[in-house]
Amino acid sequence: LAQKDYKLWLQFDKTANTVLASEYKSNIQGIVSLENSETSKIAMKELENGIAALLGNKPEIKSEITGEKNLIIASQKSLTPDLQKTLQDDFSKINSEGFLIKTISFKNKKQIIITGKNDIAVLYGVFNFLRLLQTNKSIQHLNITDSPKTNIRILNHWDNLDRTVERGYAGFSLWDWQKLPDFIDQRYIDYARANASIGINGTVLTNVNANALILTPQYLEKVEALANVFRPYGIKVYLTARFSAPIEIGKLKTADPKDPEVINWWKNKAAEIYKQIPDFGGFLVKANSEGQPGPQNYGRDHVDGANMLADAVAPFGGVIMWRAFVYSEHDANDRAKQAYAEFQPYDGKFKENVIVQVKNGAIDFQPREPFHPLFGAMPKTPLMMEFQITQEYLGFSTHLVFLPKLFQEVLESDTYQKGKGSHVAKVIDGTLYQNKLTGIAGVSNIGNDLNWTGHPFAQANWYGFGRLAWNPYLDSETIADEWLRCTFSNDENFIKPVKKMMIDSREAVVNYMTPLGLHHIMDTGHHYGPGPWVSDLSRPEWNPTYYHKANKNGIGFDRSKSGTNAVSQYAPEMVKVFNSLETCPEKDLLWFHHVSWDYKLKDGQTLWNGLALQYQEGVNQVAEMQNVWNKAKKYVDSERFNEVKMLLEIQQKEAKWWRDACLLYFQQFSGKELPSGVEKPT
């Protein structure tokens, strides 16, 4: 039943039009692999199966290059000296994970070669070549060189050892700890394959809030089994390290990072792990955040904690990803300021193998947040991006929201920290400050649901995350286009409207949940649905009322110089923009300002009317998504069509729920009628 869903974007349906189909057939008569590693066997199988499915007949498998119209896969070292020479220039353009796909003339015969500096790079090349066919591109004269722009392209699974997934909406965890290490679920292989197809090269198996059990020998042998499955696909395994592990599983009295016994314990633990998993990636750490233990429990700081762990993994080439998501009830006047305040002063103090992992915005994965002020503000410290692919605050796996649009907005924001053009993407790929260590993390939306991600369109968010991690400058429209073609159909009558639907879906969710810079007004705990009225939680900064601050005078959080002065954490150019009501982009207005209900927006509407109209616009946009989808019926299998149709109906209902709940609640402060055009709540 769920065959289609399960295959993700690796559908390989025979979708090419006849002209292209004959071009493909005439250019691919045989496949030659010059390699023999496990990875190249995988690459070969992918090509063989993919081409057989796409073209309808199996290509001939050859053991050497004879005749013409071959597809050759080989890594650099296996190429003949003259081929090496021919490709010398191209090789100088790619990095160790980059690939070439090129039409060449070899022994006077036309061939297509897919190559790179090692077998994993070649595998990336193979998946990219197959994507050319899946998306109906010409392969007549190929000349592609492509390299990932970041080193660590990683999924963060918030998976617990009991298989529940924190903020996971697609079933239980894929990792079946009880049956591991001896039982290897086919899902592990399919997971690795899907990730490799988009260039993801790392996975953190455990939740940032996990206990220390994963670091015990009983679990490490299970981790080793997973690492063995993922290795040929170029995926390294990482684990979360609970800071108090030396106490909990090491029987020490303290976890003080300056304590010699603690230091030693982590050194031995690292050695133990690397003995079993020589290419273990390293640790992801959430410390002194939301009640998790950390160095501050011992009067130490983030640098002490991160560097101690960094020393433990350094001899083995490991990395510490230290999270900057911190806030505490002790300094609650503006939670948005805390990460910057705690981390920025430590710029340049972290060891070389530490990378600080920063969420895209300063609060917490809201439908829209301005870029995090730490980006660009720590020139001597590598920072990695943390996006959330699972839709904790964006309708779980029930609402259709195409996240690459959100990711792109953040990546292309200009921080101005090194003058105009200091885009977040340049911080992330290391080009702004020449950082060597770079990375992008995505909190996974994957579970054991038959279709992996719950909502069929949530697969696009996993796909798009991988593509942007590879190249943070990619356009979200290109990503949507690729994904739709690979997943559904190449028919332009399908692609055009559905692509637009995906692109518009991000603004729709902002409109019906948190327009004009509102944030954190969802219901408490589970974070689903509206809850702007919640005000009785024990910590002030958990309450939605803390964020919208609606009263008779207006609404919004004053973070300007006359408010909490959070604006001052940005570069002077951005302070100027955000600080003034006139220049602050309206999409961020209530993030930075408390604005009177009668304030005139750029289009002449009062704030109250504008807000109400935005909520209505969100509802209208979902209705339009439904229209588009209904017309897509003939291009989509009935199972996926019906699933999405039902989900959109829920989304429509819930967009209205958000609109009505928020407007009725805010209306008691504004004291104003709803403007015409806004449906009255029933």
Q: Name which of residues 249 to 288 contact ligand GCU (CB under 6 A).
A: 286
Dihedral over Cα of 551, 555, 557, 563: its sign: negative
- Catalytic: 290? yes
> Which tokens is 527 given?
């974070």
If you write DSSP's letter for every residue of 148-177 in order, what string do you get? -S-SEEEEE--B-TTS-BTT--SSS-S--T
Amino acid identity of 163? R
Q: Assess 166 for contact with ligand GCU (CB under 6 A).
A: yes
Whether 145 contacts 94, CB under 8 Å:
yes
Q: Does 364 bind ligand GCU (CB under 6 A)?
A: yes
Out of 55, 72, 208, 277, point to the residue binding ligand GCU (CB under 6 A): 208
First to last CA, the chain: 39
- Least separation in angstroms between residue 272's CB and ligand GCU is 27
Is 39 or 292 the residue whose CB approaches ligand GCU more closely? 292
Interaction of residue 211 with ligand GCU, rule CB under 6 A: no
- Considering 38, 82, 221, 290, which one is annotated as catalytic? 290
The one catalytic residue among 46, 334, 369, 392: 392
302 binds ligand GCU (CB under 6 A): no
Which residues have CB under 8 Å from 300's CB, separation 6+? 256, 257, 258
Residue 364 appears among annotated catalytic residues = yes
Token pair for residue 432? 């702004």
Residue 154 interacts with ligand GCU (CB under 6 A)? no
Rg (alpha carbons) of the chain, rounded to whole number: 26
In the complex, minimum distance from the CB of residue 296 to ligand GCU, in angstroms, rounded to a whole number: 16
DSSP 193: H
String of DSSP letters for 536-572: --SSGGGSHHHHH--BTTEES---STTTT-GGGGS-H
Q: Which is nearer to ligand GCU, 386 or 660 (CB)?
A: 386
d(CA 304, CA 624): 53
CA count, 13 A, side-chain hemisphere, 606: 13
C-beta closer to ligand GCU: residue 9 or 322: 322
Per rule CB under 6 A, count of chain residues that contact ligand GCU:
9
Phi, psi of 145 (to 5 degrees): -125, 130
Contact between 209 and ligand GCU by CB under 6 A: the answer reads yes
CB 424, min distance to ligand GCU, A: 19
Q: Please check whether residue 433 is in contact with residue 380, taking contact to mean a CB–CB distance below 8 angstroms.
A: yes
What mask of x and - would describe binding to ligand GCU in positions 392 to 431, judged by CB under 6 A?
x---------------------------------------
Catalytic residue among 35, 90, 256, 364: 364
The amino acid sitting at 164 is: T
DSSP 3-state of 143: strand
The residue among 166 and 190 lying less far from ligand GCU, judged by its C-beta, is: 166
Nearer to ligand GCU, 94 or 339 (CB): 339
Interaction between residue 167 and ligand GCU (CB under 6 A): yes
Is 679 labeled as catalytic in the residue annotation?
no
Q: Is 157 in the site for ligand GCU (CB under 6 A)?
A: no
588 binds ligand GCU (CB under 6 A): no
What percent helix, strand, coil does the chain show, rounded to 5? Answer: 45, 15, 45
Site for ligand GCU in 316-355 (CB under 6 A): 325
The nearer residue to ligand GCU, 270 or 358, going by C-beta atoms, is 358
Distance CA 20, CA 420 (A): 44
Please report how close the Cβ of residue 672 comes to ligand GCU at its closest, in angstroms.
34
Catalytic residue numbers read 290, 364, 392
Residues that bind ligand GCU (CB under 6 A): 166-167, 208-209, 286, 290, 325, 364, 392
